[in-house]
Chains A and B, each alone.
Chain A
């Protein structure tokens, strides 16, 4: 029992469950999933489907935060990637040609990779603080996206492109399949290979890991590139879902939601240990929150208030200092801060 109470995913899981149960109280059949025309439908599917871009961006962000960094530029990468893909597709003679769409998406992803490598170069090569290094691309990237779209909203009418964000494959929405694939890939790369350990050690103590013979530069550049790639895919999904690219508003503030998802999932912004499962839970909490707001009929004007409230509660519950102060007298044994929340200091 104690092991369950101390598990670091306990609080995120409790909150997600509470949110889902709230929905069930307000909407009948909230948990039911049904099959229509060979596609799965249901509120739960919708939450994952609409949350897919956020989950993707947050996955990349988790690895960046685990190295002790932060990536503010993902929102801009989202809009650049969508803008470039839509620009290419809108210029094609046959917008429904699969090869053309693949080439356009590939080009957008290559550009995302390059932008991520640039971030990584600034952080690891030049040694700029991550928040500032990525702020550059966050500010300039929005301008770049508008430059690509020429300040207009580019609309496309392409069946294959629509599949990425709005289509179905194997009865599931295609976006969910992409997320599952990326999640599996990330989990294998970080939990079955040494990469995860290297990332945690760089985040725990970059200097100590360098002395231990880890090429921290390579690791850091890799995570920023990966984060940008995830953002690029998310950008394709977002623009494909609405069949248009808006340089100004696509992915606006998604970096904040992604950072929030990572923190709610129990990964410390100071770097070190990270939890992919926690991040997915965190992103699902944020998406469920949005759904809940609609389903319980909170007026849309107070959406942000509600969000602020939940974010504060989640963060307070996760703070060892708060739990100690709040629950200290009544439940001493439980209130002891779990070791997992603290940054693991690697002795130099």
Chain B
């Protein structure tokens, strides 16, 4: 009976959480369009992308980690560290940006790789290892400098002010293009490569993956390296957005990234979820902020309360779906 019911449904059940997030995004956008003038334009959506390109990249890395059943608390700190290293090398040391950006990305990936190794080989919980990583990265920020360093390098400012024009008078920033490329590459890796299969398998059941002869060690280390790389790239994008490096940038961004992944329908136990969901999760978070800024009278703390409520609704929904699937 249940097979019949499933077959009659137009949408496979595994896509339901992503679809719900998509519907919610459309509904919020429609509600905003009805309530405010000049809200229902394509540029508002693009602005959400522009303002959240860095979060999108960070959340992509977080999706990999969460799909294996792990968690990475260090992302916000690595983002801050990347902005700080970029700013100090470019502004204070006068390095060319072509050398700084690869270096920053390498540092982020190396940090992630080191955390992955500790997590796997010494069997310490990811929560604690990445927490130590968070302290380390924030600490390194303050060692570089306690003040905000502004970036005046020509390449950076040119990139920050550049516009990629789209038809209909709309535009995006180069950061958005980079973020979308990251999303596409990550989606390809997750769904069409061996590494992607291994990520889902490890998250589904590490024991089974190990018994099947899958390279669990390599996969686990790889996802933390990817997350570190994405955080560093997110940091580069944030330094373009802010044109400064500061140890207090991106405080609490790890929570935003986790929330985006969860709203996107990925299970924290690992093994189930889609990258598209994460993109939608970031968009929903961004749209909440946009609506609150359009409303004007609402204080900023309502953002937090709304995000909390939204998390609750989504988790209850996922719970309902998974309970129904089991019975």
Contacts and interface: CB of A to CB of B under 8 A. Distances in A.
Given A143-B308, A308-B135, 11 more contacts: A129-B269, A132-B268, A136-B312, A139-B304, A140-B305, A143-B302, A147-B305, A269-B125, A304-B142, A305-B140, A321-B122
A247 B307 CA distance: 17
Contacts of A305: 135-136, 139-140, 143
Which has the most chain B C-beta neighbours within 10 Å: A139, A259, A270, A312?
A: A139
Nearest to B269: A129
Given A132-B315, A263-B128, A304 B122 contact: no
Given A140-B305, A315-B124, A304 B315 contact: no
Interface of B: 71, 73, 118, 121-125, 127-129, 131-133, 135-136, 138-140, 142-143, 146, 255, 258-259, 262, 268-269, 299-305, 307-309, 311-312, 315-316, 319, 323
Nearest to A320: B123
B319 A126 contact: yes
Contacts of A162: none
Interface of A: 70, 126-129, 131-133, 135-144, 146-147, 151, 247, 256, 259-260, 263, 269-270, 300-309, 311-312, 315-316, 319-322, 325
Contacts of A311: 128, 131-132, 135
Contacts of B128: 259-260, 263, 269, 311, 315
A306 B303 CA distance: 34
A142 B300 CA distance: 11
Q: Say what secondary structure dominates the interface of chain B.
A: helix
Q: Say what secondary structure dominates the interface of chain A.
A: helix
Nearest to B316: A126
A323 to B, nearest CB: 9
A93 B309 CA distance: 36
A183 B143 CA distance: 38
Nearest to A321: B123
A127 B316 CA distance: 9
A140 B315 contact: no
Contacts of B125: 263, 269-270
Contacts of B133: 308
Contacts of B301: 142-144, 146-147, 151, 247
A81 B122 CA distance: 39
Given A132-B311, A140-B304, A143-B301, A303 B139 contact: yes
Contacts of B269: 129
A139 B135 contact: no
A312 B132 contact: yes
Nearest to A257: B131
A2 B123 CA distance: 25
A1 to B, nearest CB: 27
A306 B138 CA distance: 11
Contacts of B268: 129, 131-132
B49 to A, nearest CB: 23
B131 A256 contact: yes
B116 to A, nearest CB: 14
A316 B307 contact: no
A257 to B, nearest CB: 10
Given A139-B304, A140-B305, A307 B255 contact: no
